[in-house]
Amino acid sequence: MSEPDSAAQVATEAATEIADDLLPPLADLSRARILVTNDDGINAPGLALLTRLAESLSDDVWVVAPETEQSGTGHSLSLHDPLRFREIEPRRFAVAGTPTDCVLLAVHKLIEGRRPDLVLSGVNRGANLGDDITYSGTVAAAMEGTLLGVRSIALSQIFRYPEPPPFETAEAHGPDLVRRLCAQSWPRNVLVNVNFPNCPPEAVSGLKVTRQGRRKIGEGITERTDPRGRPYVWIGPQRSGERHGDDSDLGVIGRGMISVTPLCVDLTHRATLGRLAEVLDDPAPEAPPGAKP
């Protein structure tokens, strides 16, 4: 058996690979082509806000968003039904599909000429923090953009129901943050998840780059019976407690700060990869006794 790579060596090689594969800065956003999408639907206030934000940065803005609400669809594609779309006005389309469908269709079909330089997804009505991002259509749209080689940012505005979202906070702080993010070199397999706190713009206490937090989520199931006596259920996440540190997205938002979290589409756990390689890798494993040749 050959000598396996150590966990440290695997991690070092991964860091080198990322450093060698960076998207260059978008120094002049006024010349950028920007794709705007979301998961709340084509008529969502957050999409209108994000469109205004994008148009304050560039004149070349395309909007491709779901026809209807798609929250919680995650990174899903419509593979079993035809995908229909309509042009509402020049460079503005509604798609009868998921946020991932929208980005894929925009890049490969709807946007004429060159590909977008930037994907902006949101502004989501509600948080995308911690475990939420695994369900989020907003984050998934940015993930699809990243997989297609486009720098991508997901933006969400936190609020507490029944009060309306303070979208003015995202509108006030979003443009400068997008400019600052785009001025940086960017690994091709990374997207950025931004959450704005539930407070007025002037009450924001700062900005912090964070890690993804973790909170205990129990799937709540509410049972009902329809007028014909047939049972049905509503499902939805129930937060039964939070586990996070001060450097997590959850911890930072709790202090009234803007959270900026880099996320990687490569889900490989590098340390475990190295440890498992040490005990499992075998270039020529022997067949178990009694196995047929």
pTM of the model: 0.88
Q: Cβ–Cβ contacts within 10 Å for residue 230, how many?
A: 8
Q: Cβ–Cβ contacts within 10 Å for residue 55, how many?
A: 14
Note the pLDDT of residue 27. Answer: 86
Note the pLDDT of residue 284. Answer: 75
DSSP 254: T
Fold of 7-213+244-280: Stationary-phase Survival Protein Sure Homolog; Chain: A, (3.40.1210)
pLDDT along the chain (293 residues), means of 10: 48 53 94 98 98 98 97 93 96 98 98 97 96 94 98 98 96 98 96 98 98 77 92 74 73 96 95 93 77 68
Give me the torsion for CA of 69, 57, 186, 111, rounded to 10°: 60
Q: Which amino acid is residue 255, in one-letter code?
A: R
Note the pLDDT of residue 4. Answer: 44
The secondary structure element, H or E, covering residue 252 is helix 249-253
C-alpha 87/C-alpha 253 separation (Å) is: 37
How is the chain split into domains, by residue range?
Answer: 7-213+244-280
Note the pLDDT of residue 39. Answer: 97
DSSP 201: G
How, if at all, do strands 258-264 and 60-66 pair? unpaired
Mapped onto helix, strand or coil, the DSSP state of residue 18 is: helix
Note the pLDDT of residue 1. Answer: 40
Residue 269 token pair: 């756990």
Does 40 count as an annotated binding residue?
yes
Q: Report which of 24, 46, 20 is spatially closest to residue 151, judged by C-alpha positions.
A: 24
Contact 203, 158 (CB under 8 A): no
Q: Report which of 62, 66, 133, 136 is spatially closest to residue 101, judged by C-alpha positions.
A: 66
Does 71 count as an annotated binding residue?
yes
Note the pLDDT of residue 9. Answer: 58
